[in-house]
Amino acid sequence: MVTNSVTQSANDDYPLLQSYHHSSESLPSKKKVLGIAILAVFTVIITDSITSKHIQSTFQSFLEWTANNLLVGFFAYIAVYALATILFVPGSILTLGGGFIFGHAAGSLWVGVLIGSGAVFIGASLGAIGSFLVGRYLVRDWVENFLVQKYPLVRALDGGEYGCLSFHSICNCFF
């Protein structure tokens, strides 16, 4: 009962939230297609990591190419690392490989690790921004329909009346 009053008062205070609480609305076809495509990519990545490891060998080939083309490889490395971050591909091979390959290409391990660390930092940051944008604009409706309608705690946090205080309290429990 408490969550219904919180949700109701949030809808009264924030009329823009009313449009997000309609579970009967279906997702537009573009978002459905994108969701199916993302699910397919995840399925392929997980299946490949268990079986043939073609993706891993592709990353190793990319790292070798980066060593041969240092300047262009630096920017390509950033783009691939950002894409890998968005697609939840484990970055350990790229991170360690980047330091090693840039170290080999630069002629000095320390200079290469510095270049590789910069590329990893920029790529991971761009990937995090990309993940935020995907979550904010592409899958937000699905997450809201799934989480907000199903779990009362998330519904109360989404309500906005005590959301900030509640979220702060939950975070303090874990950190």
User: pLDDT (tens digit, 9 = 90+) per residue, 52-88?
Assistant: 888 778 878 877 888 788 889 899 999 999 999 998 8
**CB neighbour class for 65 (10 Å; exposed up to 12, middle 13-18, buried from 19):** middle
- Report pLDDT digits (tens) over 3-45: 555 445 544 554 444 444 444 455 567 778 878 888 888 888 8
Prediction pTM value? 0.57
Q: For residues 174 and 88, which has the higher predicted lDDT (pLDDT)?
A: 88
Q: Is the pLDDT of residue 169 over 70?
A: no
Q: For the residues of 9-60, what is the DSSP string, one character each?
A: HHHHH-GGGGGGG-TTPPPPHHHHHHHHHHHHHHHHHHHHHHTT-HHHHHHH
- pLDDT band, residue 160 (cuts 50/70/90): low
Residue 11 is encoded by which pair of tokens? 């809808």
Note the pLDDT of residue 129.
Answer: 95
Largest CA distance in the chain: 67
Element (H, E) at 92: helix 92-106
Note the pLDDT of residue 21.
Answer: 47
- pLDDT band, residue 157 (cuts 50/70/90): low
Note the pLDDT of residue 93.
Answer: 80
Residue 73 is encoded by which pair of tokens? 């490889």
